[in-house]
Structure 1
């Protein structure tokens, strides 16, 4: 147990170094995949072992065998997908049936490789899936300061923690982030959240309250401001100080221009 805890703490320190994970009861397969990809491989033979560590890991790729001793590897994939939204999960199996492929993809896997594996195919499929996930994540991930909003998984995270929000709360944050610090009128927010459905201001105010509370839980840097009679805006806590510096700079620039004009 002590060795495992030490390994997990080291994984946090090595978060910028890419590595992979395999779940296969054949140790030879784990070595082949590691040598093929040239990446450190954390090999597991049982789902329970992997789940004990998965929460502290963030691999670039995970290879999961279907037929394990006494269990089915597909059963763990939904939990891995929830923990590793940016990891390419590839199922490996000697099963020839198309049903296995469809079951693997339905469970949340990104791809399927049949045994005996081809090293070239493993490399190619992992690279393609990593590129696909990166493209999707760029579309599904919004950032504002240290705040990250995952549109697909309905989560927000910051320097303090991570939370799951409702779909409308996520939509509210997304609209404010896309405004890039400009004020969004409440009528616009209601239209974006509820479409043509007529809702009261109280309905929007409840969502604003929940989002504001969530922001306080995940970040010390991002705030949701109400501009009376106008709308809402997302700002950094230090934004007023930065605005003062900009105003001072602008005033000095205008003063310099005026002095030059007068001298002429």
Structure 2
């Protein structure tokens, strides 16, 4: 069984906030709650990181320099990206905030606010917007994965996985055919935004392939990342 570590396990949250003091407080409380955190200070940087890191949620300031928070949301939703967004607004930005919610924002908070409340709101939004069902067995080829009791079988034979191996496989099997980069898997499973820890993903993929044997549906797209072959008979 995999030993507990100090690494976050709730996934990566992206904070897009140009006031460093506010971002630091948000980072502190989110980290304590078990989330990984990455901070960007501009709308342009936020858009880039949302696309590359695939965070579980975004804490998005409305009053950003350059591309503001509402425009960031608009561009994401226009691309059919429904990453949960919590807007952070100043009191004189109410109109922009309302527009942001109409565009597909999931919640908003007005400055100043309690960072504890931010954590609570985030957890509520994640429960409400969870896209992967927590019941029902996922099947790809000969592999069956039950998210409720965290069990795996290949051709009906149980396979023992570590907690992180299970999480990686579950994430891939939830979107068969979709290719995920190492950075996206690190973000989703480990809650990290490091570009230097890709070897961690490679090791877990290698271990999964070894344990699943010939029934493994995990494929590599060279130079891009990993995916589950949903067309495997």
TM (norm. structure 2) is 0.51
Offset from partner CA, 1:11-64 (integer Å, 9 cap, x none): xxx996612111111111111111122233211111222233332212222111
Contact 1:54 1:83 survives alignment (8 Å): no
Match of 1:35 in 2: 28
Secondary structure of the structure 1 residue equivalent to 2:133: helix
Question: What is the aligned partner in structure 2 of residue 138 from structure 1?
Answer: 133
Partner of 1:20: 13
Q: Partner of 1:102 in structure 2?
A: 98
Structure 1: distance between partners of 2:228 and 2:30: 37
Partner of 2:200: none
Conserved? CA contact 2:70–2:96, under 8 Å: no
SS in 2 for 1:117: coil
Tell me which of the two structures has the higher relative contact order, counting C-alpha pairs closer than 8 angstroms and 6 or more residues apart: 2
Q: 1:158 aligns with which of 176, 187, 195?
A: 176
CA contact (8 A) 1:47 1:73 kept: yes
- Distance, in Å, in 1 between the alignment partners of 2:18 and 2:75 is 19
User: Which structure's CA Rg is the greater one?
Assistant: 1
Q: What displacement does 1:142 show? A: 10
Task: Report whether the alignment pairs 1:65 with 2:61.
Answer: yes
Count of residues in Structure 1 that have an aligned counterpart in Structure 2: 145
**Is the counterpart of residue 127 in structure 1 residue 123 in structure 2?**
yes
State whether residues 92 and 115 of structure 1, in contact with CA within 8 Å, keep that contact through their aligned partners in structure 2: yes
Deviation at 1:69, TM superposition (A): 2.1
SS in structure 2 at match of 1:67: coil
Tell me the CA shift for residue 102 of structure 1.
Answer: 1.8
Normalized per residue, the structure richer in helix is 1
| TM-score (norm. length: structure 1) | 0.46
Q: Distance in 2 between matches of 1:220 and 1:69?
A: 42
Paired with 1:97 and 1:51, the residues of 2 have a C-alpha distance of 21
SS, match of residue 69 in structure 1: coil
Distance 2:9 2:30 in 1: 17
Structure 1 unmatched ranges of 5 or more: 1-13, 147-155, 163-217, 223-235, 238-264
Aligned partners of 1:142, 1:51: CA distance in 2, in Å? 34
The CA distance in 1 between the partners of 2:52 and 2:67, in whole Å, is 23
